[in-house]
Amino acid sequence: MTTVNQTAPSPATEAPVEAPAVLAEISGMLRTMLDEYGLDDIEITMETRFTEDLELESIDLVTLAGSLEARYGRQVNFAEFVADLELEEIIDLTVGQLVEYVVRCVRAAGER
């Protein structure tokens, strides 16, 4: 008798990952955070900046990093992503840059 070990596919590998879908998911994560501050009416686009537009602080980015890992797994390492940036680049970081990073990481993991 053959036993089949069925495991659920990782959410990140269920379907090809595309920037619009990742933007929608990250926007949802950000809206959840912003709701706590009463800022639920802010439009989030690829050009939205974390610091200037959303007024997020470092603790908020830590929370976002946890949400990203919960959704995409350890293949999306936000701390590693920002570690390669200069301070000014971190201050000017956009949602679009994060979306592109997530898409690259998920695609790279799928190619392994």
Task: Label residue 59 exposed, middle or buried (CB < 10 Å: 0-12, 13-18, 19+).
Answer: exposed
The confidence band for 98, taking pLDDT boundaries of 50, 70 and 90, is very high
pLDDT tens, residue by residue, 38-97: 877 889 999 999 999 999 998 999 999 999 999 999 999 999 999 989 999 999 999 999
The confidence band for 16, taking pLDDT boundaries of 50, 70 and 90, is low
Distance CA 112, CA 105 (A): 11
Residue 58's nearest CA partner among 29, 38, 32, 87 is 87
